[in-house]
């Protein structure tokens, strides 16, 4: 275990009050047949500590994998490549310049509360999913 992250898993940090982010986590869990991903909200103690440790300014989704930190579109596409179904095809968008990918990602991220809503508190996983969440 490194920084509270099991070494054979990747950690997805997400905005725990964002409906889009919470729904995305549920989509990842549903399509993560190899049980590769673990999760923590950005608002959790672990999320806050990792943001500080890695100087992360992202506020929507972050992927910590093999000691590397991915944010914005890179995080989303790196996650997609490990999912089942057609989702790995989205990884092909990595050929686009990061500036273009992050412009689109940023537009969605800036509007996510308006379009999808916001919770008053972080999403709490069901007891069956609890083992996928770190702190």
Q: Quick count: other Cβ atoms within 10 Å of Cβ 87? A: 16
Which pLDDT tens digit goes with each residue over 4-63?
566 789 999 998 888 888 889 999 999 998 999 999 999 889 999 999 998 888 778 999
In this predicted structure, what is the pLDDT of residue 67? 86
Predicted confidence (pLDDT) at residue 70 exceeds the cutoff of 80: yes
Q: Can you tell me the mean pLDDT for 81-96?
A: 96
In this predicted structure, what is the pLDDT of residue 3? 57
In this predicted structure, what is the pLDDT of residue 60? 82
Torsion angle in degrees (nearest 10) through CA of 41, 57, 96, 67 = -70
Mean pLDDT check: name the lowest of 59-63, 83-87, 97-101: 59-63
């Amino acid at each position: 275990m490194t920084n509270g992250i099991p070494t054979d898993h990747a950690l997805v940090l997400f905005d725990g009050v964002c409906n889009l982010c919470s729904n995305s986590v549920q989509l990842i869990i549903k399509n993560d047949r190899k049980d590769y991903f673990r999760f923590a909200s950005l608002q959790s103690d672990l999320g806050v500590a990792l943001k500080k440790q890695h100087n992360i300014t992202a506020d929507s989704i972050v992927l910590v994998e093999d000691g590397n930190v991915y944010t914005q579109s890179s995080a989303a596409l790196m996650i997609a490549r490990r999912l089942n179904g057609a989702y790995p095809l989205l990884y092909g968008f990595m050929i686009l310049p990061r500036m273009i990918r992050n412009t689109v990602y940023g537009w969605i991220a800036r509007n996510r509360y308006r379009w999808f809503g916001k919770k008053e508190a972080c999403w709490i996983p069901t007891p069956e999913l609890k083992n996928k969440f770190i702190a």
